[in-house]
Amino acid sequence: DTVATLTTVGSGNFLQSGTGAVTRTMQNKVREIISVKDFGAVGDGVTNDTTAIQNAINSLPTGGDVYFPVGIYKINNTLVLGNGSGSTFSTQQGIHLVGAGSPPMPVGMQAGFTGIGGAHLLWDTAAGALSMIRIQGPLNGWGVSNLYLDGGSVAARGIDCEDSAFGRSANL
């Protein structure tokens, strides 16, 4: 069985295996997941990935997941989810930052714990004491999961929530 037929880049069809699956375009299928790498993030621990990550977040005006493949993503400014202020609700609802796998175990953890490769958000210590991620509400339905937040002993907070509700964080 042919699962996908590609004739040129960005064209072709995709058919998921299983009863009841329907044919979709490849472009429609691959746009289900927004990756920070789609916007130029490198994830090498050296390159400043702040703008690329923020652009990925901003590409989801009505919500969705922003995926971080395994890597170390260096930032030097606060990443902002939502655009609300005071009593004006954010138009960006339901944005989730999702890292690949489980975050790596921090150095110096209790014996018996081992690190598993994952997505790592690294604060550029030259940037000073700011929050790494700010949830800018009023905002409903935000999330951050499977990301190791390394503030480099300088970042003021990992996640700063302003007027937000129904948020979920896990495996940080």
pLDDT tens column, 55-81: 999 998 778 899 999 999 999 999 988
Q: Residue 19's CB: how many other CB atoms inside 10 A?
A: 4
pLDDT above 50: residue 7:
no
Beta strands in 12-118 (DSSP E): 13-15, 23-25, 34-35, 44-48, 64-68, 71-75, 79-81, 95-99
pLDDT for 103-152, tens place per residue? Answer: 555 555 544 444 556 888 988 878 777 889 888 877 777 888 888 888 87
pTM of the entire structure?
Answer: 0.78
Write down the pLDDT at residue 98. 92
Write down the pLDDT at residue 117. 67
Write down the pLDDT at residue 172. 63
Mean pLDDT of 16-20: 86
pLDDT above 50: residue 1:
no
User: Between 52 and 87, whose confidence is greater?
Assistant: 52
CA-to-CA distance for 128 and 155, rounded, in angstroms?
7
When the pLDDT of each residue in the chain is averaged and rounded to a whole number, the result is 79
Q: How, if at all, do strands 79-81 and 131-140 pair?
A: parallel
Mean pLDDT of 1-29: 71
